[in-house]
Structure 1
Amino acid sequence: MYAENLADFESKLQRLFEEWKTRPLSVPENQFPADLLKALHAIGAFDALFSAEENGLGLCQTPTGGLTLVTLLRRTGSLNLALGRCLEGHVNVVRLVELYGTTSQRHALKLRLKEGSLAGIWVTDGNPAVTIVREGPSYRLSGIKGFASGIKQVSLALITATSEHGDAVMALVPTTRSERQRPGPGTLTGMQASGTGGYDFTGLQLSPEDLLGSAGDYLRQPEFSAGSWRGSAVALGGIDRLVDLLRQELLARGRADNPHQLARIGEALILQKTASMWVKEAAQAAYSTHMKSEDVTSVVNLARLAVERAALDLITLVQRSLGVSAFIKGNAVEQVMRDLATYLRQPAPDEALTEAASWFVHHDWPKTVP
């Protein structure tokens, strides 16, 4: 029955993808894709993230569900990278609550999100940074989170706050008060539809039930690094869209049979397939129950960098193939390239590369599937 339910969901996802892939990305491009979010909710994409005990499909819990999650994130990224970013954050919240939350917290999260509400993970501090202090039986927050994706759509955020002892504490906090919203870092080159802003948590009171896990859990490995495979899956969707747009444009121009363009298309397909294989490898590692923590984090970090390199090389290929038209603001291919380049700017790439290399200098490559 589980396999049948999973297959049924994948069929619904494929039909949605076929229906939406010819639509404009977002008009105007800084408009949040609310209609696509509703369509994903309608096919059960958000319910599917939860465990079978919560009437879900275990997309955040089981290796089989994880491969379906690859498809969900990839398809969403292909349709709209900004929504893919927000969906990836939502998934991250569900995953962390699954790992570190109590049974009651997991159930409460499902109830909070049952109407298609969007959760976000906001961990980058603004000025001042977010702190948490105990006041009798409750806790009080102070400070601002910056670079908060989906600032107007997210109704529940998982945030980190620094305690009086200097520890990072996770908390689940409602974020529906518009007067607490703050401007973002400025107009981003890409990913404008994700609606990045800031949120002021100063003065908010929390109960002990709002705190998640123990101090330091957010940075606990392998999950802290392993979760980046989901961002790679979304980026892979952007790669898919760019390859499709390249093919369509060359066909429309009657240039697809040119030998130099064919060489570029071939190279683009190689990059796409390479990124796809790395994402699958990383997802299998992230859900592995037999691999060492260092193996998991190293595989996922290398996958993240491989996908980034494939995407950047593809952007160069597309620009060479299409020429100046690839730089006309408002064209679909130009917007996807800007969104993808912005999305790829994840923190500490050099550290991720050298740490993975340091591990595999002394260890053989692991089997992600036993």
Structure 2
Amino acid sequence: MSAHSSLHLAASPIEAASDDAFPHVAIGRLRRMGRLSAPLPTALGGEGLCEPERVGDLRRLLTEIGRDSLPVGRLYEGHVNALALVLRYADAETREVLARDALDGHLFGVWNTEPKDNGLTLDPAGRLRGAKSFASGAGFVTRPLVTARMPDGRSLMLILRLKAGERADLSEWRVHGMRATATGTVDFSGLHVGEGAVIGAPDDYFRQPFFFAGAWRFLAVQLGGMEAVVETHRAHMRATGRSSDPHQQARFGRSLIALESCRLLVAQAADIVAAEALPPERVIAGVNLARAAVDQAGLDVLTLAQRSVGLAGFLDDHPLEAQMRDLATYLRQPAPDFALTGMAAHVLDCETPLHALWPEVRSQGCEA
């Protein structure tokens, strides 16, 4: 199935009535269309979307899904992230086993954040103790990739096998937006590693540049959320006959500049990560440049749409209302100031001319 085919995620009546509901219909649609297995290489039954030469296709798919639904985009991005880590670090036998799980329709995810006083640990006997917090898809992701701290202090990646609804606590997920992601706490205490799979060597999860540089994937999803807001902004102006107002035109024009600038920067970030041709610090700086741009532009797009649409956009039956909540929430990624200042510090300290910091990489096989 081509990654270019159009994807529209229809909601069930329950999902349409409440954005608190997990998007079963949308995830089922992704499953039926082969999207859950698409990141796998063709030799393992997928479409090779995690291959460097397919980075443009993966980026566009993430944006397309995010445009239709940011919660679904967040869940799918986590699924892709988990499979990308499996393909990079797991041994051949483990890759084949987990590829079969993806082909069978299991939803994967990456859960790394932990409660302050109950982080996940692995004892010498292979038993787990502790939990993961802010785990998107808790109760619905059946193949989570987690990191567990070993007795020597290093962290090991594990893919664990869960049943739907198992070990998940969603009681504290009371948020402004992104409610449908079913983000919660999952306690793994008592589970044995033999019930899952070890991925790679200790501390592989934190290897750079891929630990930080993989952020380009959630940026691609956020870009889709920005597209949805700008499209709703435009539709409202046209429907209300205000598209000829020069003040409205100016606001909408600034929205387009923000959106299209981010599209270019996210494409550049995806390409330089896929090419693996630059020093790790330069790759991370390029991704953080895109991250800082999307963070600011997303807030700008929201503000411009709110000012143009006005109070109508805050009514719960207006499409902009849910879009604004989801995008504003999803933009709140960890350590935005660290990403911005780290990128700026790298550029200030290096001798490379600005025009040559992130050279074109499309000629190396990465599609923009």
TM-score by length of 2: 0.92
CA contact (8 A) 1:218 1:224 kept: yes
The 1:59/1:11 distance shift into structure 2, 3 A limit, reads closer
Partner of 2:207: 220
Check if 1:342 corresponds to 2:335.
Answer: no
Check if 1:10 corresponds to 2:3.
Answer: yes
Alignment counterpart, residue 239 of structure 1, candidates 216, 219, 226: 226
CA contact (8 A) 1:32 1:194 kept: yes
Partner of 2:182: 195
Check if 1:286 corresponds to 2:273.
Answer: yes
How many angstroms apart in 2 are the aligned matches of 1:185 and 1:170?
A: 26
How many angstroms apart in 2 are the aligned matches of 1:184 and 1:24?
A: 20
CA contact (8 A) 1:147 1:184 kept: no
How many angstroms apart in 2 are the aligned matches of 1:209 and 1:193?
A: 27
How far has the Cα of 1:87 moved from its partner? 0.4
How far has the Cα of 1:116 moved from its partner? 2.0
Check if 1:84 corresponds to 2:77.
Answer: no
AA in 2 matched with 1:78: R
Check if 1:31 corresponds to 2:6.
Answer: no
Q: How many residues end up aligned between the 2 structures?
A: 355
Stretches of structure 2 that go unaligned for 5 or more consecutive residues are none
CA contact (8 A) 2:161 2:196 kept: no
Partner of 2:43: 53
**Cα deviation per residue 1:125-181 (whole Å; 9 max; x = unaligned)?**
12411111121xxx1000111111111211110001111111121111112263522
How many angstroms apart in 2 are the aligned matches of 1:162 and 1:10?
A: 37
Superposition CA RMSD, Å: 1.9
Identity of paired residues, percent? 36
How far has the Cα of 1:208 moved from its partner? 9.5
How many angstroms apart in 2 are the aligned matches of 1:215 and 1:35?
A: 37
Alignment counterpart, residue 146 of structure 1, candidates 133, 138, 149: 133
Trace 1:1-370 onto structure 2 (pairs within 5 A): 9-12=2-5, 14=6, 16-17=7-8, 26-62=16-52, 64-126=53-115, 127-135=117-125, 139-176=126-163, 178-207=165-194, 210-361=197-348, 362-364=350-352, 365-369=357-361
Report SS of the residue matched to 1:367: coil
CA contact (8 A) 2:55 2:270 kept: yes
CA contact (8 A) 1:147 1:185 kept: no
How many angstroms apart in 2 are the aligned matches of 1:366 and 1:78?
A: 27
TM-score by length of 1: 0.91
The 1:319/1:250 distance shift into structure 2, 3 A limit, reads same
Stretches of structure 1 that go unaligned for 5 or more consecutive residues are 1-7
AA in 2 matched with 1:121: V
How many angstroms apart in 1 are the aligned matches of 2:332 and 2:161?
A: 28
CA contact (8 A) 1:26 1:32 kept: no
CA contact (8 A) 1:173 1:210 kept: yes
How many angstroms apart in 1 are the aligned matches of 2:206 and 2:4?
A: 36
How far has the Cα of 1:124 moved from its partner? 0.7
